[in-house]
Chains A and B, each alone.
Chain A
């Protein structure tokens, strides 16, 4: 019999930006035995502050949550980093509240919440913020993580707005971005954006920089598993999972 995993331990429900493509395959690559991800897409065409706000101003967030609740997912994750930090921590809480209205008993979370928890788990206080974003979105990201109690000692954004270009950015460029953003006084490097690939280079970055590297996709999976009480993980996805 062909061995297929239908999520006998748990199902993760993922609300993902329509034009993005990276999180689904990276999630599948780092999904441990017994867990599956069910995905649905929310309208989102490009990476600007306005399109992020537009995405979240309609009732589509509620609709997407409902679709995944109907599939009886065990946790529902809104998989956007900027989409959950843009308006600050209070705004983020409101987004979670809107999801909770539709999710019933199912726990809801989002990527920014996952990243905050991941950075705390590796005892980071001083962090650097590396992202593909334009300056205004980077600024909002720095502001969010500052309000969440971190000291953001440096940030760097690539000024990109086209999802396809972000998704196909070579891993070598992501590696370089993280290295260039790192600072001697940072305890950890944070790589934002679930539309950009990171998983295959996290461990090599950690080896070279000698500090924890947390990425948005990685933290999202880690936190979803934590919420689910699942401690199994796929090796090679970073020191976060060994905490």
Chain B
């Protein structure tokens, strides 16, 4: 059985309390040699105020818990929180986690930016489950990173559990509609949010739309493999 962990490699994962998708997304896809050691951070609502509070009060204690297990890499698993305060904010989160845990930290935004830059799209569409105030921060951060964001389309959800409950087929239809409604036509789509079941429809979307589709968890998955060889 998948339990021979003699040489297993530990990855730390920090997620909001209400994230019900990211652990499953990563556990099921990562090679068995990797184990996820998780700590959660209290998140009241997927709003600017809710995420500010999570970063200010919950990030450091959760990082200290993960530090106890001495991982070789930590993932900060919340997209909107890392985009909240721009690229500086993202770097601050990663820096704080690295200082506390003593190993490299990948944030969802860093992982996504890496994947998107590699594709050199001329028109990037952001599709999210979020409300407008979060979408604005997302767009600002991606523009600041020099990416040609030509549109942001959000579902208007501000509760993580509602986000996690959206069926993948609905996400697929929403992304297709958003892509067709956007001009100029996107050359790449980033589907945001770690508790959004977008990873499992990413390949279908790529076939249907004929352009690359990066999702939060797909970006992290690729970053982990790249980082750890």
A contact residues vs B (CB 8 Å cutoff): 1-7, 11, 18-22, 24-26, 28-30, 36-45, 63-64, 66-68, 70-72, 163-164, 170, 197, 199-200, 234, 236-237
Q: Given the complex of chains A and B, what is the CA–CA distance between A43 and B65 in angstroms?
A: 6
- A11, A40, A63, A200: the one contacting B38 at CB < 8 Å is A40
Interface residue? B4 (CB, 8 A): yes
Interface residue? B36 (CB, 8 A): yes
Query: Judging by beta carbons under 8 Å apart, are B69 and A20 in contact?
Result: yes
Distance in angstroms from A205 CB to nearest chain B CB is 14
Query: Judging by beta carbons under 8 Å apart, are B6 and A170 in contact?
Result: yes
Query: Judging by beta carbons under 8 Å apart, are A40 and B40 in contact?
Result: yes
Q: Given the complex of chains A and B, what is the CA–CA distance between A118 and B198 in angstroms?
A: 39
Distance in angstroms from A166 CB to nearest chain B CB is 12
Interface of B is mostly: mixed
- A37, A41, A70: the one contacting B65 at CB < 8 Å is A41
Closest to B2 in A: A29
Query: Judging by beta carbons under 8 Å apart, are B39 and A40 in contact?
Result: yes
Distance in angstroms from A243 CB to nearest chain B CB is 19
Note all chain A residues with C-beta closer than 8 A to B10: 21
| Segment among B81-89, B109-117, B200-208 that sits at the interface with chain A | B200-208
Query: Judging by beta carbons under 8 Å apart, are A67 and B42 in contact?
Result: yes
Closest to A70 in B: B17
Those of B1-55 within 8 Å (CB) of chain A: 1-6, 8, 10, 17-21, 23-25, 27-29, 35-43
Closest 6 CB pairs of A and B: A41-B65, A18-B68, A40-B40, A19-B68, A67-B17, A39-B38
Query: Judging by beta carbons under 8 Å apart, are B5 and A38 in contact?
Result: no
Closest to A64 in B: B40
